[in-house]
Structure 1
Amino acid sequence: MQINYKLSFTLEKNFIYLIILALLSLIYAPVLFHWYDGWLNKSIGIEHEYFSHGIIGIPFAFYIVWNQRKKWQRLPNQSHPLGFILLIIGSIFYLTGVAEFVNLSLPIILTGLCLWLKGIAGFKLNSFALLLIALATPTSFPYLITPFTLPLQKFIAGFAGFILIQLGMDVTVEQIYLAVGGRLVEVAPYCAGLKMLFTSLYVGLMLLYWTGNIENRKKTTLLLVGAALISVSANIIRNTILTFFHGTGRDQLFTWFHDSWGGDLYSALMLASVVLLLNFLDQIESLKSQ
């Protein structure tokens, strides 16, 4: 009898949240399914693959919100007018049916709900979770910055050519092209490593929050700068290996490393090195405090 009373009281107390959760699930479940299906099966647009870090980031954001539910309940019910405005904008974006706007409507509506239900305090409480969702929302941003990646493409091509020359290979570098063994290899805009860079920075942010270091500015700066350097270095090595495979006629290995799970394994090792970097920074800090 007491259990039924507690269950009834809990449902009554959280009725509005259950309704909101049900509506959000009904509206955005197909959208999230489309994102995850595209990320996992690589059937989504190449620009949207840049946001595949959302595979782990979005569940982690929901985990953060769930862990903070008691703090949320203790906040006073105080609406902020900006919340209503964002809810209207997010709804309009969703109703347009344009993929870009539909995607953007999710973080906009979630932010609007935080402000509408709990005001600025609610927004601050869930700001990091909202940031993770926003940074995992597929947009055209990678496409917009593609024209500006040429210097990075040239740098990668030149460095990869330098490494291969040191290995005794006959390599000619021209702008973003490498000629190896009569075969031409292009360091294309989407091979410039931006996806790896976005992923490493995103995972770095998650690690900083998970370990409680997100408010440590020095460690945050060192980790994110280090993650960026790791990403750029790993991409140079990756392009060097791909050029070697293609230039020496090892087409199966090229396909495995470029399009198959070989590339995923390489990315996983790169992200593991970001974790090791954070452990290294923790060890240095503990030594200094002794």
Structure 2
Amino acid sequence: MTSAPLPFLGLPQRLPDGTTPRAVIVSAGHGSPYPAQDSSSHAMAAQMIRAASQADAPLLTHWDFDLDGPLFGDGPPSCVDQGEIATVAGASAANRAAISGKTREILDLPAVPILIGGDDSVVIPFLEGFDCAEPVWIVQIDAHLDWRDEIKGERYGYSSPMRRASEMAHVTGMVQIGLRGVGSARHAELVDARHYGSRLVTARDIHAEGVEAALRLIPAGARVVVTLDCDALDPAVMPGVAGRSPGGLSYQHVIDLIAGLGQRCRIAGFDLVEFYPKADVDGVSALTASRILVNLIAAVCRQA
């Protein structure tokens, strides 16, 4: 592991008093790309998000109206940024081992791992890392179903994380939120997702009924791992994605989902993936991603 030149929000790599943090941020630039696919732009995502967070770094004790208080309440910072997991373009198996291994290490502290990707393939080893802990529900916030079994012979690519999660013994349920438009899914993948028992909530459902359309499907008290693909958000607020699709969730929808999960369940882990810096406009996507992570940290650090 190497420390990030610009840690998220200026957070330390470890707490100064030696106490165990509530949450640990790490990033992984490379996962399991498809053959001949260049993952270098996605690999820059964490650096851009960390840079966007620096404007808020001096404001940690200021009142945040998203959170109804300062980020860490009346206490000191209880989240750290341990920087980048060493991953290499094309070294798919080694990348997966490094990501799942670091996830297990954080859970052993114990703390809540927060992973910044990278493309959606980093989600698979991140979820695998929870095999050392209690069973979890997966809450996926994404425009796409992600149930492909393989593409070009690759079973661990960015179109397969929910398929692979459904095969993990420690995953006991799944809610997929924000679905819309078209992607890699065919009718067969939809049938498989429903047969597994995944609870599908479209973007239209959220726009019509609010975030409760999804929250009520998650058992109260469940341990949840949240995986957020940036293309779940509408491109008006998140243009920096590889596959823009109109009709997505708003920033408010996403932070309300996070707050609702923090109140209804126990957030055991979180990842944010698929920010594509080359497509960003005036840094809007990096800023939005940064603010989502702020809300996530607050929800985790307010858990009993």
User: TM-score scaled to structure 2, two decimals?
Assistant: 0.25
Higher helix share: 1
Larger radius of gyration: 1
Greater RCO between the two (CA within 8 Å, min separation 6)? 2
